[in-house]
Amino acid sequence: MLKTLIMLLALAALTTPIHAETYFKGSQILAMCEAAGDASAAVGKRNICAFYLLGVSDGLVTSSLYGRAATDKSALKPTLCLPDGAGIAVLSDAFVTYGKAHAARMDAGGGEVAAAALQARHGCGWLKAKNSKPDVVFLSAGDLLQKCADANAVVGLYCLHYVVGVSDLYAAMGAGGVKGVAAAGFAKQICYPRDMADDQPKRTFVAYMAAHPEAKGDPAALTVARALHLAFACR
């Protein structure tokens, strides 16, 4: 029963029309992050929020690392500096705080708003506390693949919404909506067909990994971006 409820919740959250590249608006992510109570539906919504933001966070960091490697500019600073030893709860806290203070921005795409929220709270300024750790990447492609293959409903949500978070972030970067980070060398935006199944980005990543097992040690977010751009680059 719990598994069915959580999966229905996940699919309902993804039923906004898929036009061009964006799945979620900032307001939808904020509503899920703020879901109150211990009921299964509320817990499921908070999990969707956390997993989505994890994809955005990893996407920001890996794009920054890629940009520094590609341009060989050592002066470029890290994008995010998270508290040392912090878990994913700090990402949700940052988004809720930002959302309450910037209500007018919540109709923008979720990737754009989430990136702004994480950069506002955890950006690597020169006065950043010494106990912060730069360039934290939470998942490798192999880690994410294991979660995608897991039969547990909650872990399945982790995979699906991590991938969607990366997708929304790259949509925002491609449109120039993310400050200080380029779309990691991808020249085109992601364009999904309107009749695409809600979980197609997840299945696209899994199929890519089946064809490229050597990518298991690569950052998950960058590998997701490669898979989605290969399958759905705008023409």
- Lowest mean pLDDT of 9-18, 121-130, 141-150, 222-231, name the range: 9-18
Q: For residue 145, what are its two tokens?
A: 């693949």
Contact 135, 80 (CB under 8 A): yes
pLDDT tens sequence across 138-179: 899 999 999 999 988 778 878 999 999 999 998 888 777 787
Which range has highest mean pLDDT (92-106, 118-132, 146-160)?
92-106
Top pLDDT among 12 and 169 is at 169
Whether the predicted pLDDT of 107 surpasses 50: yes
Which residue ranges make up each domain of the chain? 24-232
* Contacts of range 27-34, beta carbons closer than 8 Å, 24 or more positions apart: 27/106, 27/107, 28/110, 29/53, 29/95, 29/99, 29/110, 29/113, 29/114, 30/95, 30/96, 30/99, 30/106, 33/92, 33/95, 33/96, 33/99, 34/96
User: What mean pLDDT value characterizes the chain?
Assistant: 81
